[in-house]
A and B are shown apart, each in its own frame.
Chain A
Amino acid sequence: DTGVSQDPRHKITKRGQNVTFRCDPISEHNRLYWYRQTLGQGPEFLTYFQNEAQLEKSRLLSDRFSAERPKGSFSTLEIQRTEQGDSAMYLCASSLAGDRDYEQYFGPGTRLTVT
């Protein structure tokens, strides 16, 4: 397994458009996290899944954001009606619940630019 992958790596979109990002976690990992990171800041938690269940969603997250993990494997993050403030790096991470479930492995991220 080559680790967590994300697609696309870069996305430029116009304000008001919808975008969807994909994350493929490490195959045996059952936990999947989405974060957002802006320049000079640490990652900001958005949501996380255990298997296909979405267990937690940030209270700061707008209703324009939605995430799915339909079969407990890959996940998608959709942003509707994008705004310039959505421009950021969107990071996905996965972990294995159990003895070392604290160790989250990050994907390379999707950099979103909203013009």
Chain B
Amino acid sequence: GQNIDQPTEMTATEGAIVQINCTYQTSGFNGLFWYQQHAGEAPTFLSYNVLDGLEEKGRFSSFLSRSKGYSYLLLKELQMKDSASYLCAVSDSNYQLIWGAGTKLIIKP
């Protein structure tokens, strides 16, 4: 079967750094995505990794290891507005997105 695992909830402090992990088992792999979703809103695209390594985009970075079926999203200099759910999704052999349940990130002052 296909499976995406990520922690249900994490808490971090404003200004700090947090790493959200994602492990996956899918039939085929055509890239891994991270989306941010604020409560009651639609997901918004954050990053895409298809090759191993780190992709940096401002305060957010995403890492992929295909051999380990593992990715993480790194958020630096946390701001209160970063409080949201972070969804990991993998594009499978049919280019369909398989989604994790999301990690709810709570930022405390």
Interface residues of A (CB under 8 A from B): 40-45, 48, 56, 91, 102-109
Interchain CA distance A104-B43 in the complex, whole Å: 9
Contact between B89 and A42 (Cβ–Cβ < 8 Å)? yes
Which one of A40, A41, A43, A106 contacts B44 once the chains associate, using CB atoms below 8 Å?
Answer: A106
Which one of B4, B44, B45, B96 contacts A45 once the chains associate, using CB atoms below 8 Å?
Answer: B96
Interchain CA distance A111-B14 in the complex, whole Å: 32
The 6 A-B residue pairs with the shortest CB-CB distance in the complex, in nearest-first order: A42-B99, A106-B42, A41-B101, A43-B99, A42-B87, A42-B101
Most chain A CB within a 10 A radius of its CB, from B42, B45, B91, B102: B42
Contact between B97 and A45 (Cβ–Cβ < 8 Å)? yes
Q: What 6 new A-B contacts, CB under 8 Å, besides A40-B102, A103-B48, A108-B42?
A: A41-B101, A42-B4, A56-B94, A91-B43, A102-B48, A105-B45
